[in-house]
Structure 1
Amino acid sequence: MEALNMELLRILLFLTVTVTLESCVNGGTIKYPTVMYFPDGKGDLRPGIIYEGPTKVLPINEAEDIKFFLYTRGASYQLLVGDVATLNASSYDSNYPTYIVTHGYQSSGASDTIQDIKDAYLSRSQCNVIGVDWSVIADNILYPVAKQHTVDVGIYVAKFIDFLATAGNLDISTLHLTGHSLGAHVMGIAGKNVKNGKVRRITGMDPAGPLFNLEEVNERLAVGDASFVDIIHTCAGLYGFEDPLGDVDFYPNGGHPRQPGCSIILAGVCSHSRSWQFFAESVNTDKFLAVPCGSYDDFKNGTCDSEPKVPMGEPAFSSARGRYYLNTGQEPPYALG
């Protein structure tokens, strides 16, 4: 009986999300349900409670709750802020490019979000990929608590970056930060707080939308957090931000759920995950070709076909500005060329 009740609850929650999605697609105003299912880093569903109002947040222990894992070809290490000996004993090499990647709400460092992107980079070239695991904080059924802690996590990531600069000879002007969902805002906060230079680039993969707004730029990813900020929107208006947040904002398939290949029932969670899946694939291809356009309708009508194309994802041009649109496939490989 208990199993049956849980299944009924799951169905009701799916219907709640589907009704919310329908409102989003048809231009309605989204009213966040009390409970929404979010995708963890492997695409599985995890419940989160969303509410507006004051939140009592207990302090975190940054050194224990936020972990940094270095991946290079054939080796991996855990690095600690201020621990020079461990850094020197690791395979970190400042002569190679460095990429820092983090997950979002209800996810972890072991997630496909981080691992697939890490594997893509290491298959391409020698480099340092550092995964930021803040799962102790992110794995909280109370979404507002995790959301509020993104500022603390971002500030600590900035301390780690400054540590790499001083102890590991990292050139921050070459550094690329990438984050999914709440993790996108973590990277924005990190970029704001780095003291030893300006981060070269931050990529936001469907930055989290619930309880964020455009005015509070100090609590979210924003233009200026790095020399170049690019955004991939795949669940705009539901789990992700709909408004442009970066120097350039890409809206594959219009940027809204449901993304191609996602079922109606899982439209939101599947679409939210598409952003990091697209980015992981883009590390080794420049075929996610997008064009600047006033709207997705104009794009579909061919109004912007004569505009020069720009690749989305890792090979995006740092000179690109504005809104860009493209279509993708329903399954890997997603890029259509």
Structure 2
Amino acid sequence: MSYLFCFVLSAVFAYSSAGLFRDVLYSDWITCNHDKFLNYGVSEVQIFFYDFQNNFNLSFPIEFAVEGITSSYNLDITRRLIFFNPGYKSHISKNTEELVRQTFSDVPNIYLIIVDHSMYTSAKGGKFASYERSVRHVYYIGTAIGNFLAGLQKQGFPSNNIHCIGHSLGSQMLGYAGTRFTELTNEKIWRITGLDPAGPCFSNGSVEDQIRSGVANYVEVYHCNAGGLGTTSVLGDIDFFFNKAGKKQPTCHSGIIPGKGESDAAKCSHKACVRYYTESVHLKTGYLAWACDSYDHYSKGSCSVNQVTIAGYNNPGNVTGTFYVSTDMFGV
């Protein structure tokens, strides 16, 4: 009987853990601290700069990156700067960063910068403690990014050539970065793209602590795991919900193991936003997106005559609102 009891108890725990990312991470079990008076230092954030056309790259601590780049290299101010800020548990050597490098390596007339803030956002101290620690650093890392970009602008690099792209926690940092940039320059970053901005500690918090319309000339937000690891909030000038109301992606399956399977599916959907966006860089047309007031209406075809725009890297940036996307026709 004791074996049966242990089996049942384990099964109950497994099924309860299946909602870990949905329930626990949005509960009081996680302490969400967005305090802006902790005076955290983030000097170990690293900036990695790439000029693929000239086979040139540099890296500097963020506090010295403006001087390091501009004193070592003659920036072409007619090029676009693609600035990628990854999320929780990221590192410059991980797959997401490599995907971004490979994607932009053959795009003409751009510079690429990738941020490594892993010293403050890695999985130290267990799942809950490390995420709480990472959230506490979001404001400080975002502000440091804003300082860096404003420094480039003061050295002559135009704000209308700066495109910031963030994933997950990195998207939320860009809200602070855009705000800080404007405070220092009285200008706005050309575009900020949020790829499935982090939901836990943000969806149920103040909009002032999130990426949002107004922190750049144009803010676009992509949703792929809304209500899980990504936010449910409509935040941008335009919000794109990909497949299944932006909650679950078709290639991401829960598997047969309760808890772990659903958690893995959430991570897969969360990362899918990066994959969709990077694939769109080389799509001639991008993803077609329809304006709609709900996924239910979209899935029933009720919005097929509504306004259409392009989601992805080639989004023209001339429309606003909530749009829905199906990737079926693109085979992704």
- Give yes or no for TM over 0.5: yes
Relative to the length of structure 2, the TM-score reads: 0.82
Partner of residue 146 from structure 2, selected from 158, 161, 165: 158
- 1:249 aligns with 239
- Between 1:320-329 and 1:177-186, the stretch displaced more is 320-329
- Over residues 3-48 of structure 1, what are the superposed CA-to-partner deviations in whole Å (9 max), with x where a residue is unaligned? xxxxxxx999874453457xxxxxxxx521699xxxxxxxxxxxxx
- 1:280 aligns with 278
Partner of residue 174 from structure 1, selected from 161, 183, 191: 161
- 2:304 aligns with 305
Counterpart secondary structure, 2:105: helix
- Structure with more of its chain in helix, by fraction: 2
- 1:97 aligns with 80
Partner of residue 149 from structure 1, selected from 127, 134, 137: 137
Partner of residue 131 from structure 1, selected from 87, 92, 114: 114
Partner of residue 172 from structure 2, selected from 182, 185, 192: 185
- 1:229 aligns with 219
Counterpart secondary structure, 1:94: coil
- 1:32 aligns with 24
Give the drift of 1:294.
1.4
Give the drift of 1:278.
0.7
* Contact map agreement 2:280 2:314 (CA 8 A) in 1: yes
- 1:44 aligns with none
* Contact map agreement 2:80 2:111 (CA 8 A) in 1: yes
- Counterpart Cα distance in 1 of 2:80 and 2:25: 42
- Counterpart Cα distance in 1 of 2:207 and 2:86: 20
- Over residues 128-176 of structure 1, what are the superposed CA-to-partner deviations in whole Å (9 max), with x where a residue is unaligned? 1101110111104421110121100001001110111123x21012211
Structure-2 change in CA distance of 1:68 and 1:333 (3 Å):
farther
Give the drift of 1:208.
0.4
* Contact map agreement 1:185 1:208 (CA 8 A) in 2: yes
Instruction: Work out whether 1:62 is the aligned partner of 2:62.
Output: no
- Counterpart Cα distance in 2 of 1:187 and 1:19: 28
- Counterpart Cα distance in 1 of 2:75 and 2:136: 32
- 1:78 aligns with 59
- 1:5 aligns with none
Structure-2 change in CA distance of 1:85 and 1:131 (3 Å):
closer
Structure-2 change in CA distance of 1:211 and 1:310 (3 Å):
same
* Contact map agreement 2:32 2:136 (CA 8 A) in 1: no
- 1:42 aligns with none
**What is the number of residues matched between the two proteins?**
301
Partner of residue 120 from structure 1, selected from 103, 113, 118: 103
* Contact map agreement 2:83 2:113 (CA 8 A) in 1: yes
Moved over 4 A (4+): 10-17, 53-60
Give the drift of 1:298.
1.1
Give the CA RMSD over aligned residues: 2.9
Structure-2 change in CA distance of 1:53 and 1:275 (3 Å):
closer
- Between 1:211-220 and 1:286-295, the stretch displaced more is 211-220
**Gaps spanning 5+ residues in structure 2: where?**
1-9, 255-260
* Contact map agreement 1:72 1:91 (CA 8 A) in 2: no
* Contact map agreement 2:33 2:135 (CA 8 A) in 1: no
- Counterpart Cα distance in 1 of 2:174 and 2:105: 21
**Gaps spanning 5+ residues in structure 1: where?**
1-9, 22-29, 36-48
Identity of aligned residues (%): 24
Q: Which has the larger radius of gyration?
A: 2
Counterpart secondary structure, 2:48: strand
Counterpart secondary structure, 1:123: coil
- 1:216 aligns with 206
Give the drift of 1:76.
1.1
Structure-2 change in CA distance of 1:16 and 1:317 (3 Å):
farther
Give the drift of 1:181.
0.5
